[in-house]
Chains A and B, each alone.
Chain A
Amino acid sequence: MSNDDLLRPTLSAYSRPPALYHKTGFALAAFFGGPVGAAVYSLANTARLARLKQDAPTIVIVTASALLIPVMLAHTGQFAVLADLAGMTPRGAGEVLLRGLGLACFGATYFLHRRFFRAARVSGVETLPSWPVGIAALVTGWAANAALMGWILKHH
């Protein structure tokens, strides 16, 4: 970047400056909303960072891979074995698995934005009010989890 590029304005009074939603809300949305809840929350963060083009494909791939795991387990007959091992009903085991996968997705997408979370921390930037995004992520995540579990239990 030349000196002229460096001195070109980056911010605009007509668009919101980059910011992040709360990390706690992110973890909770991922835990209770599963991979889809984590995806909704991290896409909201990505949009506020104006990085949808760069980061959205990674988020979609991570979420799709996470959702494929229970489907593949069910397809290969391992889902019932897993539930039996854990001493749970298939639905209960599925819920725990989706929560674990939600947290894994949270970890992966948090890693993607980790430097921005740290930059916000070291420069004392306050996070955005996170309730609306958190609720949207939870509702979408719950619906997706219920639909996926319903499909798995019906077809396998």
Chain B
Amino acid sequence: MNDQPANAAVYAEQAFYFIERRRLADAKRVLAQGLTQYPQDPDLLFHSAQAEWLGDENETAENTVRQVLVVDPAHAPARQLLASVLIERGEYADGELLLIGLLREYPESAELYGRYSRLMLRTLHLEKAEQLAREGLRYDPEDNECLLAAALCETARSGARPNAGLQKLLGAHPESMSSVHALVVALVDSGRVAEAHRIAQGAMRVDPANEHLVTLVRELRIQNHWSMKPLWPLQKWGWGASAVMWLGGIIVIRALSKSAPELAGPVAYTWLGYCIYSWVWPPLIRRIL
């Protein structure tokens, strides 16, 4: 019995099955077989580019996706992937033109609005990012990309305050990695590092091959380590806390040296020790853990 796929579509389907499950080596094996028989098939080439992109082979992915567009210039998923590759490389203007072209052809695609919104957020055009996410949600109120973009815009605008966009995103897509990422960012921003660490750890158990999550969990583990607890005010309020610490330290030590000189020395040494600890320990623990 011959169990080899009979045509390019079957190879593409098999490859997509593996790509969805992040089994990139299996996907590439199936695609290599398919492409020896159908070297110009746009879908097989596209899935190849997708597997390369997910495997962080961005340059190879770009070459392959350009091959798709030579064979089929209107291939929408390939144009979307090329936009992602260009944006990742910092060629934002070209990525934007591709997304606008796609949106003109598919004006009701909420996902495209969401992607365009994320690009605008990345290039710090916050107002336009918000409007694009809103526009996309008009077409599909549950779209993951738009909900994520809206949640990130709201996090950028309102920081630690309650985030309605994030609630909607988590309600609609609690399983999505991007929901987890948005939630973790919002929690870290509001200084709730322990919760962010717990959520990221849970997500990593579901998808242990995700390198981004592994890095995120490692960073949160460092921030949540017991030896970092004394630095909690600096983590939560950042430079505001640093400024208060410096000025407060100078003023208090000066005042003590006049009113209670016997206390001024110990307080000054404690304060200096804390300053040195806050500079030296965070980079050191990153090397140790």
Contact = CB atoms under 8 A, between A and B. Distances in A.
A87 B124 contact: no
A3 B247 CA distance: 50
A61 interface: no
Given A87-B254, A106-B243, A10 B120 contact: yes
A10 B117 CA distance: 12
Contacts of B185: 121-122
Interface stretch (B54-62, B93-101, B265-273): B93-101
Q: How large is the interface on A (under 10, 10 to 19, 20 to 34, 35 or more residues)?
A: 35 or more
Interface string A108-125: 001000111011111111
A116 B153 CA distance: 10
A88 B204 CA distance: 55
Interface string A28-69: 000100000000000000000100000000000000000000
Given A7-B103, A115-B157, A107 B125 contact: no
Given A86-B254, A107-B240, A123-B118, A10 B124 contact: no
A118 B247 CA distance: 25
Given A88-B254, A107-B240, A6 B122 contact: no
Interface residues of B, number: 45
A13 B156 contact: no
B258 interface: yes
Interface string B29-40: 000000000000
Given A6-B135, A18-B124, A120-B124, A27 B242 contact: yes
Contact of A13 (B93, B132, B240): B93
Contacts of A116: 124, 126, 156
A24 B282 CA distance: 15
B258 to A, nearest CB: 5
Contact of B121 (A7, A88, A114, A123): A123
Contacts of A90: none
A145 B276 CA distance: 27
Given A1-B131, A87-B257, A11 B93 contact: yes
A137 interface: no
A122 B124 contact: no
A124 B155 CA distance: 13
B203 to A, nearest CB: 17
A7 B132 CA distance: 9
11 contacts: A6-B132, A10-B120, A13-B91, A17-B124, A86-B254, A96-B250, A107-B240, A115-B126, A122-B152, A122-B155, A122-B185
Give 3 nearest A-B pairs by CB, closest first: A119-B156, A13-B93, A11-B93
